[in-house]
Structure 1
Amino acid sequence: MDAPPPDHAALLARAHGPVTRSRLVRDLTALGLGAGDVVMFHTRMSAIGYVAGGPPTLIGALRDVVGERGTLMVTCGWNDALPYGFSEWPKPWQDAVRAEHPPYDPESSEADHDNGRLPEALRRWPGAVRSRHPDVSLAALGPAATALTADHPWDDPHGPGSPLARLVELGGRVLMLGAPLETLTLLHHAEALADAPGKRFVEYEQPLLADGRRVWRRFRDIDSSGGAFDYSAVTPEGQDPFETIVRDMLAAGIGRRGSVGAAGSHLFEAGEVLEFGLTWLREKVGAR
């Protein structure tokens, strides 16, 4: 019987060696992350290589670098959120979920698995706090965590007063650790602030806890899944619009590049991301 093929992490470990906490600290420091930083990070663990100890090792290394004055933030979402279109299901199905679907609880509801292992690990970390919005919650750890996540707006949760807006206001940064460029969530803040004909919105319902009771609430947001604008004429076919924006941003000399473990990584200033994103939207889709 043939042996099973080695997994991706094993192949990277053979090529680059195990990625330890001290190595991560060196690589993150070389990339430009530093003490006191408020940083939102996106990670594809498999790209880094074999991280000895997994997510806790990476979170520990990030905390080593930003220090006691620094704060980490991640996008969580909610893994068990109802699909937006459940209101189109047959009525008996709707009645069943309305009667029994568990409410979103910031302290216990799992982060969206599509966001990888790090958000769930960080939101479970002792001392971490998580925003109240069931669909686009973020979690943060550090002295600025409450300032970032408190009173997350129910409607327009990527816009003014959101954790993304506060990241910019606090002079924060965005760290991409091997993550696909299209996952740079802060660009949704630019979409929320910009306006153009045909801007797309979604409305949906989710159950949540209010004073210990399960209640249903209706939400309104930009269409962050399908795209807040029609990008078809200004992005290469098959390429995510955010990837296009980030590639243009890098070509303009914005952001730092380096390697963390085996992962090609980038570090951006949040304010520069927002400014470039707004300018790009004005020039490409006629936003104002």
Structure 2
Amino acid sequence: MDELALLKLSNGPVTRTRLVRDLSALGLGPGDSVMFHTRLSALGYVTGGSQTLIDALREVVGDQGTLMVTCGWNDAPPYEWTTWPPDWQEAVRAEHPAFDPERAECDHSFGRLPEALRRQPGAVRSRHPDASFAALGAAAHRLMDDHPWDDPHGPDSPLARLVALGGKVLVLGAGLDSLTVLHHAEALADAPGKRFVDYEQPILVDGRREWRRFHDIDSAEGAFDYTPVVGPERDAFEVIGQEFVASGGGVRGLVGAAESHLFDARELTAFGVAWMEDKLRR
């Protein structure tokens, strides 16, 4: 979408001042720890792009607040690389670079904001190669340090710590299918048919590259087969998010031109766990 179209969408430039006003009206405030998901173009023409949005978010949460994003690793070896022909496997094992939290690019499918945030001075990125997060602000180390190698979406994960801190989840123009905190709900839910993955990725240990085996819920294909519940065309996280909103959960409003939502992370996670345990046991 070109600049003129974006300007028309937002009825003029979306400035830092306008973003601060809209985010505050939505309910974000000083001291909040907030994980955010953004489709930047949905906001309209944001003057300064990602940097302006990050600056506005930091202004709203203040010095005692914290911003958090999900990063992943764009260039991680795929789960199935150990099923490739032996010579291909040998090449990967010999030369694939180790995950470096300071240098590894965030998964491009998550949009521009995760990479922009993790590059900010003072940002802290968690150590997990496949399920990394990044945070900036007062609680950054508390959220990110010593990210568990196994079950990285479960207890003591950055998502669990966000919930424990009374954190929030902000969706700025993105679909509700982007609600990463629902992977934490999947990790916690006691429901039949939970799917797991075991995979190998290279990490740095005392400055040396080592291959490590990891165990997690299947966050790529889904920790559960939701098809019998939501059908083949709908995304389960989007359905859960929509039903949470319909139940009165969260606050909805405009930020720039984008329909946006602000959720309590604990309430959303609890709703997700209850939904999974109810729907998937039928």
Letter in 2 for 1:91: P
Runs of at least 4 residues off by over 4 Å: none
Write out per-residue CA displacement over residues 153-174 of structure 1, whole angstroms, 9 at most, x where no aligned residue. Answer: 1010000010000000000000
* Corresponding position: 1:189 with 2:188: no
TM-score for both structures, normalised by structure 2: 0.97
* Corresponding position: 1:10 with 2:18: no
Secondary structure at the aligned position of 2:64 is classed as coil
Q: Is the 8 A contact 2:189 2:274 kept in 1?
A: no
Counterparts in 2 of 1:129-278, with a 5 A limit? 129-278=124-273
Counterparts in 2 of 1:89-168, with a 5 A limit? 89-168=84-163
Cα offset, 1:9, TM superposition: 5.0
* Corresponding position: 1:48 with 2:16: no
Paired residue for 1:3? Answer: none
Secondary structure at the aligned position of 1:265 is classed as strand
Write out per-residue CA displacement over residues 121-169 of structure 1, whole angstroms, 9 at most, x where no aligned residue. Answer: 1101000000000001000001100000111110100000100000000
Q: Is the 8 A contact 1:25 1:64 kept in 2?
A: yes
> How many pairs align?
281
Secondary structure at the aligned position of 2:277 is classed as helix
Structure 2: gaps (5+ residues): none
Write out per-residue CA displacement over residues 95-137 of structure 1, whole angstroms, 9 at most, x where no aligned residue. Answer: 1111111110011111111111100111010000000000010
Cα offset, 1:86, TM superposition: 0.7
Paired residue for 2:60? Answer: 65
TM-score for both structures, normalised by structure 1: 0.95
